[in-house]
Amino acid sequence: MEQLFVLLNAIARMSPELEAHLRRILQCKKFAKGEFIVREGQVSNFIYFIQSGLVRIYNYNLQSNAEVTSWFLREGNVFMSVLSFFLQQASYENVVALEDCICWGISFEQLEEILRLFPEFEKHHGRILRQYYCRALERQFKLDRQSPVQRYTVLVEEEPELLQRVPVKLLQTYLQMSDSTFKRARRDYYSMKRGGK
């Protein structure tokens, strides 16, 4: 839980009253590897902070007849099924634990209550939403504009731990590549690295 308070206080120092309220209501949730946290069609009613573990958020693309991973979120990250949570409607995506996870969460109703009782929390709420939104836009921009080898380069240089923690099959859905394209991008990346030495 303390990691979450470090994150929140780094955004803006919380009042003792707000911090005490959060400590009272935060719920510790443990999810086993492979467990669905949200399934498509369910309403995402909780927003979580990951203390330990790794979460995957994905949907099923009917046009390509394949799974598309939008996020891998690890320790120190906040997650929810965004549209489902904020609109309180059925989710179009799945959220699953890729590793055993320990998370701290509050419900949609609790978040609404915090914002009503503690207007100062709007700073934290707004910053987290902006970061989430900007990361999503940046990721989509890169997927639209970058070649496969460029996407693989970004993965290796910006999120190298995913190579150790995520099966290749799922990394392919994250980079939106077929098996052959992924292998070629990986080969080209290491060929460039060797050539640059």
pTM of this prediction? Answer: 0.89
CA atoms within 13 A on the CB side of 168: 8
Angle at Cα 133 formed by Cα 127 and Cα 134, nearest 5°?
A: 90
Q: Which residues pair with 78 in a beta bridge?
A: 49
Length of the chain: 197
Q: What is the pLDDT of residue 39?
A: 96
Residues in the chain predicted with pLDDT less than 50, given as ranges, are none
